[in-house]
Amino acid sequence: MKPQLQPPTGAFVGASWAALFIGALTYLAGIWNSTMQLNEQGYYFTVLMYGLFSAVSLQKSVRDKLEGIPVTGIYFGLCWLSLGLSILLLAIGLWNATLGWSEKGFFAMAFLLSLFAAVAVQKNIRDIALFKKEADPLGHFESQEK
pLDDT in tens, 86-119: 999 999 999 998 888 999 999 999 999 999 999 9
Does residue 137 belong to any structural domain of this protein?
Answer: no
pLDDT of residue 146: 46
Quote the radius of gyration of the chain (alpha carbons, Å). Answer: 18
CA angle 74, 72, 131 (to 5 degrees): 130
Does residue 5 belong to any structural domain of this protein?
Answer: no
Q: Into how many domains does the chain fold?
A: 1
Could you list the residue range(s) of the whole structural domain that residue 58 is in? Answer: 16-131
Residues 61 and 126: beta-carbon distance below 8 Å: no
pLDDT of residue 129: 85
Task: Measure the CA–CA gap between 6 and 125, rounded to whole angstroms.
Answer: 13
Does residue 103 belong to any structural domain of this protein?
Answer: yes
3-class secondary-structure state, position 39: helix
Which stretches of the chain score pLDDT less than 50?
A: 143-146
DSSP for residue 67: T
Does residue 2 belong to any structural domain of this protein?
Answer: no
Does residue 6 belong to any structural domain of this protein?
Answer: no
Does residue 87 belong to any structural domain of this protein?
Answer: yes
